[in-house]
Chains A and B, each alone.
Chain A
Amino acid sequence: SQTIHQWPATLVQPVGSPLSLECTVEGTSNPNLYWYRQAAGRGLQLLFYSVGIGQISSEVPQNLSASRPQDRQFILSSKKLLLSDSGFYLCAWSVFNGGYNEQFFGPGTRLTVL
């Protein structure tokens, strides 16, 4: 069966510090991978998605970047965090079966920027 891991679970960082959040998927090959941000317990904002190694699509211009160094690894980074980067970050994966792209989510990372 497939599993998705995210770490760390919580993170408190000062403004201006770097960020690295990691997501890995097990039990599937060549998945689509996604990073979402959820602010104040509300809607999900798609930040990045990737359909393969080295293929990253950015949905929102911001202070963040993403990389996919391996097939089942997706990393969210920042060189200098802003207060507005605080939120709950969710990683997700899917495998398009020709019909739909049901997404499966990781447990999330709560990021607080002080």
Chain B
Amino acid sequence: AQTVTQSQPEMSVQEAETVTLSCTYDTSESDYYLFWYKQPPSRQMILVIRQEAYKQQNATENRFSVNFQKAAKSFSLKISDSQLGDAAMYFCAYPEGSGNTPLVFGKGTRLSVIA
């Protein structure tokens, strides 16, 4: 079975600092997409960033970027210039299999931002 591991249940960061959330996964697929979702206190799940596995370049969306290491099956999320609004649960996800299959989610990392 496909698995995704987020080894940090909780993390904290000072406002304006940088934090990295880790994620590792296990897949036998060669081409796939990886996702980071954010769940703020409102509990509305929001897509933060998406990475395509065959692309060498790490994805970036404003203050959010990934460090994707395909061989190591690692997909970490870096948040730069952290803001109070970044406080949330963050979930890493990737497809259950090839083709039209659901996403498998990690257990999440709760990020606190300290003013």
Contact = CB atoms under 8 A, between A and B. Distances in A.
Interface of A: 32, 34, 41-44, 46, 49, 51, 59, 88, 90, 92, 96, 99-105, 107-108
Contacts of B107: 42-43
Contacts of A44: 91, 105
B68 interface: no
16 contacts: A32-B102, A34-B102, A41-B89, A46-B102, A51-B100, A88-B43, A90-B45, A101-B101, A101-B102, A102-B35, A102-B47, A103-B93, A104-B47, A105-B44, A105-B45, A108-B43
Contacts of A90: 45
Given A42-B107, A44-B105, A107-B44, A101 B100 contact: yes
A104 B44 CA distance: 10
